[in-house]
Structure 1
Amino acid sequence: MFTLHHVPHRAYHLATLFIVFALLAFNPSVSQANQVSAKDTYKVFILHSYELDHVCGQPQSAGVTEALNNSGFSGKRLTIEAYAMDTKRTNTTPQSIAAQAEIALQKISEFQPDVLVTLDDNAFYSVVDALEDPDLPVVFSGLNNLPGPDTQTRWLQSRKQPGANVTGVYEKIHFVTAVQVQRNINTELRKMLVLSDNSPTGKALIRQIREELQQNPLDIEFEYRITDSWEEYQQFITEANASDINSLYPVALRLIDRLGKTYTGNEILQWTAKHSRKPSIPLNFSFVQLGLFGGAGVDFHAMGYQAGLKAAAILQGEEPGNIPIDDARRYALVFNLPRARNLGIEIPQDILLAADIVYTE
């Protein structure tokens, strides 16, 4: 320990600097040790577009947390704070979403995270668009409306080299694969009904379906029904029951009835499973647990895990702008056997053996 006595003010600072430089010169590890100890703990903020227990948001959040834990950021080394904007059920208007974004930005500012993780489009765009040039690293998961490969924005130069402080995982739904799996179960599949809402996410899903079919055409007829009305959605299901439609692809996740009540994914899909007489392919494999027949669906937990690995890389010192934006890579094969029996469908044994999850009750 060094003690200085009776040193003039300026000389005191010069002497102190001399001692610090001398210590560093003889022991370079001192500065490195200080840097490491300064980051003994890490903070990640997870911002949900949905309510906290939403069938699409919760698996992604769990995946993010698992990836961080598996990357060495666990226990006392990691603090996670979450906020649910609830923009799918309660705060659905542009004004209320903007108000939620202000609340979220305040919470983020108070928490001072090392990385912000956003789940779904509303959380990402309402916050990132409010930041002139994000100086906080942002990782998105489940983004449906990503600028095209030839489009540059202030936060995205290209998917391979984002360039700014933003990276993440695009929600590729693997629609063609899902339909092909369904055809392997039902060789008579000739006509499919796609049901969507008119939200930005719903529009993006329809656009992605059309793009996938344009790249990989299928000799199947596709009908599209898009509505924000709960009563009209119910009517579409009733009409499909009496038609020659062989299968449904229900991705309407926010509907409003004539009294103004909002229905979200869990309620819509449970009603669909109860009242539809056609097998439904899940967008998210978790939908099968709500009663849908099953097939190939996006693994939302794996998508969150994929985003979590990007967040971990940033915590380890990687620049977000150098981390490529990826498609959600993994889909899961999941079936609901009671639903299959109810529909009178026998799933081939080889497909069942290849499944990731089979619900038996």
Structure 2
Amino acid sequence: MIVRIIILCLALLTTPAYAGENIFIIGSYQKEDLCGDPQLKGVNLAIEESGLHDTSVTSFFLHSRIISKQDFAQKVQSIEQEIERKKPRVIITLDDPAFNAFAKTVLANPAMYLVFSGVNRSLTDYNKELDFLNDTTPTKNITGVHEKLFMLEQMEFFEMLLNKLDKVAILYSTDSMGMIIKDQIVNELKQTIYASRLEFFPVKYMQDLYAAADEINDRKNINAYLPLPLSIIDKSTGQKKTVEELAPLLIEKIHKPDLALNKAFSKVGFLGGVSVDFHHMGHQAGTLAIKLLHGYNITKLKTENAGRHTISLNKKRQGSLSLTIRDDIWNLLDEVY
């Protein structure tokens, strides 16, 4: 009997406080999204490495790029009901739409934490609405990883690759995320020599995209472009098309180097370049979540910037553009597709 009591006491002492906790991961887009999927994999890897085997992890996907505002609101409401029912200890949001949808819900539940990954909008702007930060220090129950685009490094890489960079076209959708990322590009480059080299091409509908693609292709002073048609409306069907679906069209119509937002863009056929490592960024967020489950004081877990970039290149696209890559540039590459 005494032995059994001792064993029971030891079990209680060695059982982590987080056993049986729920983690919700809420992705802004569809499961295989080029931006969301590598973040999700990074978060899951951090959780696996932590050894939290008794913790339940549930993933949700908001499909915000392709569904209506009404359907999006219904998805949010359904997840809020799950939050109320299962009371997750930590909610991890991937990208701005998910963070924007659930930040106030978590703030109203101080027993929960929210860890964001891949937020593009300025945290200063979010803080004006939510009041959860003092500079980078959390004052409430939210922390996370802001997405740095590494645009200066991207521009410097392409200037080295092409030997000149007169103008770079930013081809972006006018949905909320397209506008947020366009503003972030401007902000990252505003104090650099590249600020005056940007040409902006906003597009909402497919006919806008065709016209912009033709102009970018025909303009002699545009040396490269950044494809950001994240959600484009096809009037003939009423459906929204994402950058994955539009990549073959843009690759066919624009015979100029395409700068990748992340290496997954190189996988679908764009040329590549310097971009945020989305997998590592998700791993950063997952690590913050694990620390919270281990009892870290959230005020000690300051918000972070994405800490790693990667340099990728698609060899087929390089060949179709007849680009010669110097040996010193090949040596810089992290990924070749």
TM-score, length-normalised on structure 1?
Answer: 0.85
- Say yes or no: does 1:112 pair with 2:87: yes
Aligned counterpart, 1:85: 62
TM-superposition CA deviations, 1:267-298 (whole Å, max 9, x none): 12232223320110011111000100111111
- Say yes or no: does 1:342 pair with 2:320: yes
Aligned counterpart, 2:136: 160
The Cα shift of 1:117 comes to: 0.4
**1:149–1:329 Cα change, 3 Å:** farther
Indicate which of 52, 55, 64 corresponds to 2:43.
64
- 3-state SS of paired residue (1:334): strand
The Cα shift of 1:153 comes to: 4.7
Aligned counterpart, 1:133: 108
Aligned counterpart, 2:223: 246
**1:156–1:270 Cα change, 3 Å:** farther
- Say yes or no: does 1:237 pair with 2:213: yes
Q: Is the 8 A contact 1:133 1:155 kept in 2?
A: no
CA–CA separation in structure 2 for the residues paired with 1:219 and 1:81: 42
Aligned counterpart, 2:23: 44
The Cα shift of 1:150 comes to: 10
Aligned counterpart, 2:32: 53
The Cα shift of 1:31 comes to: 9.4
CA–CA separation in structure 1 for the residues paired with 2:282 and 2:155: 24
Q: Is the 8 A contact 2:169 2:226 kept in 1?
A: yes
- Say yes or no: does 1:270 pair with 2:245: no
Q: Is the 8 A contact 1:152 1:158 kept in 2?
A: no
The Cα shift of 1:159 comes to: 4.0
CA–CA separation in structure 1 for the residues paired with 2:106 and 2:25: 17
CA–CA separation in structure 2 for the residues paired with 1:298 and 1:234: 28
- Say yes or no: does 1:305 pair with 2:283: yes
The Cα shift of 1:163 comes to: 1.2
TM-superposition CA deviations, 1:46-97 (whole Å, max 9, x none): 1011011111111100000111222333xx333211111111112x32x333
The letter for the 2-side match of 1:224 is F
**1:336–1:205 Cα change, 3 Å:** same
The Cα shift of 1:323 comes to: 1.1
Q: Is the 8 A contact 1:193 1:247 kept in 2?
A: yes
Aligned counterpart, 2:148: 172
TM-score, length-normalised on structure 2?
Answer: 0.91
Q: Is the 8 A contact 2:28 2:95 kept in 1?
A: yes
TM-superposition CA deviations, 1:317-347 (whole Å, max 9, x none): 1133431111112111000111101101011
- 3-state SS of paired residue (1:124): helix
CA RMSD of aligned residues (A): 2.4
Indicate which of 118, 133, 140 corresponds to 1:142.
118
State the structure with more CA Rg: 1
Count of residues in Structure 1 that have an aligned counterpart in Structure 2: 331
Indicate which of 64, 75, 93 corresponds to 1:100.
75
CA–CA separation in structure 2 for the residues paired with 1:119 and 1:270: 26
Q: Is the 8 A contact 2:39 2:278 kept in 1?
A: yes
**1:169–1:231 Cα change, 3 Å:** same
CA–CA separation in structure 2 for the residues paired with 1:250 and 1:316: 41
Indicate which of 272, 276, 281 corresponds to 2:259.
281
- Say yes or no: does 1:258 pair with 2:228: no
Indicate which of 233, 258, 268 corresponds to 1:290.
268
The letter for the 2-side match of 1:225 is F
**1:355–1:313 Cα change, 3 Å:** same
The letter for the 1-side match of 2:81 is Q
Aligned counterpart, 1:217: 193
**1:161–1:223 Cα change, 3 Å:** same
Identity over aligned pairs, percent: 27
The letter for the 2-side match of 1:217 is I
Structure 2 unaligned residues grouped into runs of 5+: none
The Cα shift of 1:155 comes to: 4.5
The letter for the 2-side match of 1:236 is A
CA–CA separation in structure 1 for the residues paired with 2:17 and 2:311: 44
Indicate which of 309, 322, 325 corresponds to 1:331.
309
The letter for the 2-side match of 1:48 is G
Q: Is the 8 A contact 2:266 2:272 kept in 1?
A: yes
CA–CA separation in structure 1 for the residues paired with 2:231 and 2:288: 30
Q: Is the 8 A contact 1:198 1:228 kept in 2?
A: yes
CA–CA separation in structure 2 for the residues paired with 1:154 and 1:339: 44
